[in-house]
Structure 1
């Protein structure tokens, strides 16, 4: 019996999902909820508030927070935008009455509407306090607010691989505890920051707490047998939107960002108690040779669940994990006890596994890109309190996670991710085609897209974990997640900057379609055991290999056998007519809403990526048979 099967048998014997696992999962979910609030806290603390210039001649009072934002005379003193909103940073020059104070006599004829002057003091439409109000970030400095979110994602980008390596080497639990405590501590210190540079530096360092989610997730996955793997992973994933909703509810009633941070970050310091009350992953202990400690924990589980760990199972664990897992042969046949380093070397040397890693990384980039991008777009719900809208948008993630349980248990991973990405793309594309006045329909499609990408994100998390050996699983998941931060970093730029020139929904939809195409090349892991060695990871089979697609997906003359060459060339040409038919539509119609060059460029890039999978035919003879066409490399 192999290691995975033997451990599954033992976990079933001590209680598959008894009282011990229920309490353990409850404890695991607490740092997951807190981690979620850390991830999105900048959406509250660095949010742009609605503000206008202070008009000293009419706004009477020294405390600007006590002055009413919208008054009868305001539109006579401050210019407006085309949509009727007040300009933020300029006001009309006053026409002095000799005293310099107009008080209640403010009216249109007391301002020179032909001259606009900049202002240095501001009045806000709400009583909220964030870094914009407290650190005086306005007008030309507004980009600094966006940099807070960038710093947070950059921190996760850098710390994720480090946390992954430490987690694989020193244990899941130890890294989760240290990461959460450090992240909480930096966050609390951040709430006392009085300068922008100090605040953004601590925001970067605080990412230590948000990068521990992968360790939390793996604790959940590795603590149960194959039967409960999906249930356990989805249960922990559900805690993430609950954490986001918690932040929304707190921000709804507490309007000072310093108090919000202290309220949510202080409980994170208590996670240090997990060192004494939460067990380490038994799977990690056994893989790393700590068999006696693993057996001790299994006996404790059996006792709490009212079961008993038999001597036969103990002997099976000792024999299995002392021979199959701890000592892994290298390529030259020697034994290397450093399984983490040796496994990473073997993965780097394998072209197949390197391509798989690149594919997994792009799936993460797409998930982060679409997930955060759709959230940023969909939260702009007219007429709603922005925190109620925020709660609504993140709440839709829960149905996406709940339907993941039956789907992941019944559908193959690759098919589920492919279908979810297509639904996401269609939903997002639909929002760009529906007229703006049909806001309800647009909102429904955004919610469908958010629900779908949430399902995909959760599936990709599990799918990635199932493709890599145990000794490097956390390292590679964190590496993929780190690269995925590229998507979350550029999503705000797409929504805020690029959206001025092109519907951002087109880019999110295109990314989802490209990811759907590439997912075909990943191996299927449904109902298969988690690989423990590099050889087992290599043995995972794919439906279509890259080499297979080199022949199957090409219609070029030199790649087709003589007997069907003309038929395939004409078929290619016929399909190509589709492009020539839609080109006029792009240039004449779509160009009114988006630069057509952007779509043509995207098409060219996609084609450039796919041409890599075609065989080289230079100086080779034309194939005469199907076997000859297949043999092209």
Structure 2
């Protein structure tokens, strides 16, 4: 741990008046009481948002069904496992045809349901369907013989996310991370509760789209990355994801104990309304505030963190906070206080290097999201209890995040991502060809494949946020995510491949996983770079002549770490004004 005296001495080496955010964040620490409270608040929000995001896995789950046989049962007195199904139906369940009864007038009324009545061999389509249970919308809205309607719910849900991520990214970068963190759960919770009262399939489908188009977003992860120093951002984000995953894993238990889809929806959507109180509990990101010239508010947040963590800032740190406060007040007196350093997304995309990164990351996201979402959705169809399978596939993300924190910090970004997706390909394809007699091995391979997919997806999200500047980080990340979300649109259709070949969905997941292996090689390694605040900083990432980043990486002593972070911030501060002038002229 870095001593306060060491940080103070290193801060003292900075030129007077230059603001050193990295040094101040080092003093405040990464896992004090303030940060732990923030992690718990974000975990509660993200856990229930994740449940709602995958609600269709159980809401539109497949239900066993069979044809109604009027010769053997009335319209009101039905039993799914009736004795006549062995001779009156072509198959016990899952088919929309039944054996055509023989119209022999000599059969008396007592023999109308006898096996002899169904010996003709011909089949006729069902007029009505009997379901094993009424837990899913499949039974309630009679979708058994229309499987495309069942999978369409997930497709429409993910299609809405295409718009949601683009909208939330713009709002987050323009109006702040806190706006998205508070507003999106309220929208999702409200629309979701209304959706639980849907009177027909089309009403539910419309609300499913509206829920995702107006809600969701990844502002929590952006805020997590921006709250701590360069050395701690991956670990902090991993801890945040572990906590939210623990909460998300309860979804399998909730769906198991509350199987009826309307009641289950209300159980997972209603808690999101509590997030309205986050207005008073969560502060705006300091990096966003500084990047948008809201220095007074940034100083207030930093002082609040210090007070909450019982930390006394060094004299140099206090002087820095006092200086930028005075600068902000002078600017306000001169009529410049309302000016913002916000840069239009179009202006940022005029950078050829940034534009290429957006399309490259979008292509990687397409593969990552298809494999991850598809494997989660398909988990309810693999052997075993579907609720336990779902939760198990989520809980394996916990050791995965521990591995992520260690490997991304020690080995960079690209190499671990490529290795993870190579293993993902091997495990998923292996799970498809394991003999049914050792089904447990197939499940085990499938879980390992899902772990590698989860590792790769999270790592790519970190990389995406590290290569884009603070002023447009969420917009650019979500712009790439928006294109990549087309993979999520296709993912709900993956389970239908099982009808053509056993294990075919897993084979497809494995082949698609090879995409990120090849594309990730074209990305710069961001593990040695400071989090960029402006376009110029982002463009420098990956340059071979960026010696500053190389010198500040690897295994150094703590004093050197503080010195590097301070120098990086000083150099960045000296260029901020010039960068903003260029960006403003461009806009």
For normalisation by structure 2, the TM-score amounts to 0.82
**Worse-superposed segment, 127-136 or 16-25:** 127-136
Aligned residue for 1:412?
412
Q: Aligned with 1:114: secondary structure?
A: coil
1:166 aligns with 2:171: yes
Aligned residue for 2:402?
402
114 and 154 in structure 1: CA distance in 2 versus 1, 3 angstrom threshold = same
Aligned residue for 2:572?
none
Deviations 1:553-576 (A, max 9, x none): xxxxxxxxxxxxxxxxxxxxxxxx
Contact 2:157 2:208 in 1 (8 A): yes
Aligned residue for 2:156?
151
Find the aligned partners of 2:229 and 2:474 in 1 and give their Cα distance: 18
Find the aligned partners of 2:29 and 2:253 in 1 and give their Cα distance: 37
Find the aligned partners of 2:65 and 2:468 in 1 and give their Cα distance: 51
Q: Aligned with 1:52: secondary structure?
A: strand
Give the superposition deviation at 1:349: 2.2
Aligned residue for 2:99?
92
Find the aligned partners of 1:365 and 1:321 in 2 and give their Cα distance: 44
Contact 1:38 1:209 in 2 (8 A): no
Give the superposition deviation at 1:536: 0.8
Instruction: Pick from 202, 223, 227 the counterpart of residue 223 of structure 1.
Output: 227
Give the superposition deviation at 1:102: 6.5
Contact 1:179 1:208 in 2 (8 A): no
> Counterparts in 2 of 1:224-239, with a 5 A limit?
224-239=228-243
**Worse-superposed segment, 467-476 or 363-372:** 363-372
4 and 404 in structure 1: CA distance in 2 versus 1, 3 angstrom threshold = farther
Find the aligned partners of 1:268 and 1:377 in 2 and give their Cα distance: 26
Give the superposition deviation at 1:184: 0.6
147 and 318 in structure 1: CA distance in 2 versus 1, 3 angstrom threshold = farther
Instruction: Pick from 83, 108, 115 the counterpart of residue 108 of structure 1.
Output: 115
Find the aligned partners of 1:143 and 1:106 in 2 and give their Cα distance: 33
Aligned residue for 1:556?
none
Consecutive unaligned residues in structure 2, runs of 5 or more? 1-13, 332-337, 546-587
72 and 11 in structure 1: CA distance in 2 versus 1, 3 angstrom threshold = same
450 and 5 in structure 1: CA distance in 2 versus 1, 3 angstrom threshold = farther
Aligned residue for 1:253?
257
Give the superposition deviation at 1:128: 3.9
Contact 2:162 2:213 in 1 (8 A): no
Find the aligned partners of 2:246 and 2:299 in 1 and give their Cα distance: 34
Give the superposition deviation at 1:31: 0.7
Find the aligned partners of 1:102 and 1:177 in 2 and give their Cα distance: 66
Deviations 1:465-486 (A, max 9, x none): 1111001001111112212211
132 and 268 in structure 1: CA distance in 2 versus 1, 3 angstrom threshold = same
Aligned residue for 1:559?
none
Q: Aligned with 1:117: secondary structure?
A: strand
135 and 507 in structure 1: CA distance in 2 versus 1, 3 angstrom threshold = closer
Aligned residue for 1:539?
540
Q: Structure 1: which 4+ aligned runs deviate by more than 6 Å?
A: 2-5, 96-105, 320-324
338 and 389 in structure 1: CA distance in 2 versus 1, 3 angstrom threshold = same
101 and 60 in structure 1: CA distance in 2 versus 1, 3 angstrom threshold = farther
**How many residues of Structure 1 are paired with residues of Structure 2 in the alignment?**
522
Find the aligned partners of 2:181 and 2:453 in 1 and give their Cα distance: 26
1:19 aligns with 2:33: yes
Find the aligned partners of 1:244 and 1:132 in 2 and give their Cα distance: 24
1:449 aligns with 2:449: yes
10 and 456 in structure 1: CA distance in 2 versus 1, 3 angstrom threshold = same
Find the aligned partners of 1:96 and 1:72 in 2 and give their Cα distance: 21
Q: Aligned with 1:403: secondary structure?
A: helix
Contact 2:361 2:464 in 1 (8 A): yes
Deviations 1:184-230 (A, max 9, x none): 10000000010222111110111157523x11111222222223312
Find the aligned partners of 2:18 and 2:390 in 1 and give their Cα distance: 42
Find the aligned partners of 1:398 and 1:210 in 2 and give their Cα distance: 26
Aligned residue for 1:118?
125
Deviations 1:344-379 (A, max 9, x none): 344322222222211111121111011122334444
Find the aligned partners of 1:251 and 1:398 in 2 and give their Cα distance: 21
For normalisation by structure 1, the TM-score amounts to 0.76
Deviations 1:116-168 (A, max 9, x none): 2223332222x3422112222231x3211111101110111011111100011
Aligned residue for 1:241?
245
> Counterparts in 2 of 1:85-484, with a 5 A limit?
85-95=92-102, 106-125=113-132, 127-139=133-145, 141-208=146-213, 211-212=216-217, 214-310=218-314, 312-317=316-321, 339-342=341-344, 344-382=345-383, 384-484=384-484
CA-based RMSD: 3.0
Contact 2:64 2:94 in 1 (8 A): no
**Worse-superposed segment, 71-80 or 184-193:** 71-80
Q: Aligned with 1:450: secondary structure?
A: helix
Give the superposition deviation at 1:435: 4.2
Contact 1:130 1:257 in 2 (8 A): yes
> Counterparts in 2 of 1:586-597, with a 5 A limit?
none
Aligned residue for 2:81?
70
Aligned residue for 1:547?
none
Give the superposition deviation at 1:176: 1.8
If asked which structure has higher relative contact order (CA below 8 Å, sep 6+), I would say 2
Find the aligned partners of 2:449 and 2:542 in 1 and give their Cα distance: 30
Find the aligned partners of 1:485 and 1:99 in 2 and give their Cα distance: 63
523 and 313 in structure 1: CA distance in 2 versus 1, 3 angstrom threshold = same
Contact 1:241 1:398 in 2 (8 A): yes
Deviations 1:43-73 (A, max 9, x none): 111111011112233235616xxx4322322
Contact 1:69 1:124 in 2 (8 A): yes
